[in-house]
Amino acid sequence: MVEPLTHIVRKAGDTETKLPKVAVLRWGHRVRDKRLTAHVALTARALGVSKFILADVKDEKVKKTVEKVTEKWGGAFHFKMGENWRQIVKDWKTTNGIVVHLTAYGENIQTSNVLQRIKSTGKDLLVIVGCQKVPSAFFSKTVSDFNVAIGNQPHSECSSLAIFLDRFFEGRELSKEFERAKVTLIPQVRGKKMVEV
Ligand SMILES: C[S@@+](CC[C@H](N)C(=O)[O-])C[C@H]1O[C@@H](n2cnc3c(N)ncnc32)[C@H](O)[C@@H]1O
């Protein structure tokens, strides 16, 4: 069962802004893609996603890597794995969320109004990213409410997820505060400054 997500809150000046809730479902995890799965999860975490689900398979090593990052760098980010993708989608829809499948074959995020239509639903998002060739059911109405292309050229699950999230959150995710962080980076013109919190 997909648990409800908590709103992500950031501080913008004196005001607090709530970002919409987004979860990511990663489908496919071949041996050669293990590092990439970790990178997809870390991209999701850094760019405002609250939950990452590695569907159908389990990989304790990837889970540990991602959880270690969250422990050190903060934020509420849940890593789940092993659950059947159909069940995840079913549960998500039951809680009134919508499903966005990122695919080079979909509606182009730049040349169509697909992003506007997604935003206008006002619903929580489950974003599906693939790996090798995905099940054809991902393209169907019963699974994906929207098939979105980050340009209609094939590239990567990491880049497509990053661009989608940045457009969806309109850049606000980049100033999000990560609560309970043990360390934080202070932006510098040159050099590195990391402080313990
Ligand atoms: C390496 S691609 C897989 C391509 C695979 N050969 C296919 O035909 O579906 C892995 C994942 O990256 C994402 N992806 C790649 N290019 C994309 C694009 N232009 N727009 C949106 N998502 C993309 C999709 O989620 C895809 O499942």
Residues 6+ apart with CB under 8 A from 195: 183, 184, 186
Residue 155 Cβ < 6 Å to ligand 1 = yes
Q: What is the pLDDT of residue 14?
A: 41
Query: Which stretches of the chain drop beneath a pLDDT of 70?
Result: 1-19
Q: What is the pLDDT of residue 82?
A: 97
For the chain, the distance separating the N- and C-terminal CA atoms, rounded to the nearest angstrom, is 34
CB neighbours of residue 48 within 10 Å: 22
Q: Position of tokens 């990052």?
A: 69
Q: What is the pLDDT of residue 6?
A: 42
**Nearest residue by C-alpha to atom 18 in ligand 1:** 104
Q: What is the pLDDT of residue 172?
A: 94
Fold of 8-196: Alpha/beta knot (3.40.1280)
How far apart are the CA of 66 and the centre of ligand 1, in A? 22
Residue 97 Cβ < 6 Å to ligand 1 = no
How far apart are the CA of 149 and the centre of ligand 1, in A? 9
Q: Under a CB-based contact definition with an 8 Å cutoff, are residues 147 and 127 in contact?
A: no
Ligand 1 atom nearest to CA at 128: 25
Q: What is the pLDDT of residue 31?
A: 84
Q: What is the pLDDT of residue 11?
A: 47
Q: What is the pLDDT of residue 3?
A: 43
Residue 149 Cβ < 6 Å to ligand 1 = yes
Q: How far is 2 from 145, CA to CA, in rounded Å?
A: 18
Q: Which amino acid is at 188?
A: Q
Locate 24 and state its tokens: 């990511």
Q: Under a CB-based contact definition with an 8 Å cutoff, are residues 24 and 127 in contact?
A: yes
Q: What is the pLDDT of residue 89?
A: 98
Which H or E element spans position 97? none
Q: What is the pLDDT of residue 32?
A: 84
Q: How far is 175 from 141, CA to CA, in rounded Å?
A: 34
Q: What is the pLDDT of residue 33?
A: 82
How far apart are the CA of 3 and the centre of ligand 1, in A? 27
User: Which DSSP symbol is given to 93?
Assistant: H
Ligand 1 atom nearest to CA at 158: 12
Closest by Cα among 138, 164, 142 to 93: 142
